[in-house]
Amino acid sequence: MKKVVTLIAVLTFVTTVALAQSSGNFSYGYTGSTHCVLDSGSGAITGGATCSAGTDCSSGTCVPIPASGTCGGTVNAGIKTNAGSGNVFVIRPSAVIGLLTDVTVAKNATLNVGTSSAFAGVDLDVQVTPPSGAPAPCVSPNYSITYAARFIQISTNLFNVLGTLCTTVANPNAVGGVTTAVGCFISFNESTVSAHSFDWVVGDPSASGANGNASNCGSLHTGTYGIAANWKASLGNTGISQSLTCVGPINMTVQQNKIFSFNNVN
């Protein structure tokens, strides 16, 4: 009977330890915006928070159209912590992002555009507001992260040589010294950078003076911290082009964890 009681006590102790290890503090923020939708037939992007820009070439000269729409936003959450060595927040903003880049080359009686480009991107950063009287906590990384970015460009000289023979010239990109005719050309260039989800760590004192932090940032203190994930769209256009970004929905999770030994495997 004594052995049975001892066994039950051991099991109770193990259960208590497991519960203590799994406990934590969790917060969630959500924009509630409609979601971005890509039309498979036309390629149009609708819904969400859209920001667009382009060029107006109706006068015979392409003039930039300034960005319009919703080109930035914030999702907020709050989380409370208590004093304790090694407490950190792990912040993860996640977003659905759509990018539209449309470019055209053309020539008519008044217009001659042989190169057009478009750029569209969305960056996110995290800002943390400490409780009254508490110092600013270290945020790592303390700079914007590109969640999506695309550059696209098309170039051609066909408008200048149509009606005449394309001159045979050496191909500067030829392999093995092979010469090919590249007098007439259409070139296409596209570059993409994307994340869509990223982790920020708040309260790691080892980040003081690094990762964009001030040298006097520090650990977390007792109190409620305000967390904001800010997003901003960037657009750029040349020639005959249109660019658009779409963000939504976007959410952010904030979880309190403990680091027992910074920058080392526990």
Indicate whether 100 belongs to any domain: yes
Indicate whether 1 belongs to any domain: no
The model's pLDDT over 106-116, given as tens digits with 9 standing for 90+, comes to: 888 788 888 99
**What's the order of all strands across the beta sheet hosting 72-81?**
72-81, 223-238, 115-129, 145-156, 186-194
Tell me which residue of 245, 222, 220 sits closest to 235, measured CA to CA. 245
> Tokens 């959410």 sit at which residue?
251
Backbone angles phi, psi at 162, to 5 degrees: -60, 135
Q: Is the pLDDT of residue 205 over 70?
A: yes
Indicate whether 18 belongs to any domain: no
Confidence band of 17 (pLDDT split at 50, 70, 90): very low
Q: Give residue 210's pLDDT.
A: 87
Q: Is the pLDDT of residue 39 over 80?
A: yes
Indicate whether 7 belongs to any domain: no
Q: Give residue 16's pLDDT.
A: 33
> If you average pLDDT over every residue of the chain, what do you get?
81
Between the alpha carbon of residue 60 and those of residues 55, 109, 140, the distances in Å are: 11, 9, 49
Please, are residues 91 and 202 in contact by the beta-carbon 8 Å criterion? yes
In DSSP terms, which residues pair with 88 in a beta bridge? 257
Indicate whether 263 belongs to any domain: no
The domain total for the chain is 1
What would the mean pLDDT of 68-85 be, rounded to a whole number?
89
Q: Give residue 164's pLDDT.
A: 60
Tell me which residue of 164, 181, 46, 19 sits closest to 100, measured CA to CA. 46
Q: Give residue 60's pLDDT.
A: 86
Q: Is the pLDDT of residue 7 over 70?
A: no
The distance of Cα 84 from the centroid of its chain, to the nearest Å, equals: 32
Question: Mean pLDDT: which of 57-66, 230-239, 252-261 is highest?
Answer: 230-239
What would the mean pLDDT of 197-223 be, rounded to a whole number?
89
Question: Mean pLDDT: which of 101-110, 111-120, 153-162 is highest?
Answer: 111-120
Amino acid (1-letter code) at residue 77? A
Indicate whether 265 belongs to any domain: no
Indicate whether 170 belongs to any domain: yes
Please, are residues 30 and 92 in contact by the beta-carbon 8 Å criterion? no
Confidence band of 185 (pLDDT split at 50, 70, 90): low
Which range marks the domain in which residue 170 is found? 25-258
Indicate whether 253 belongs to any domain: yes
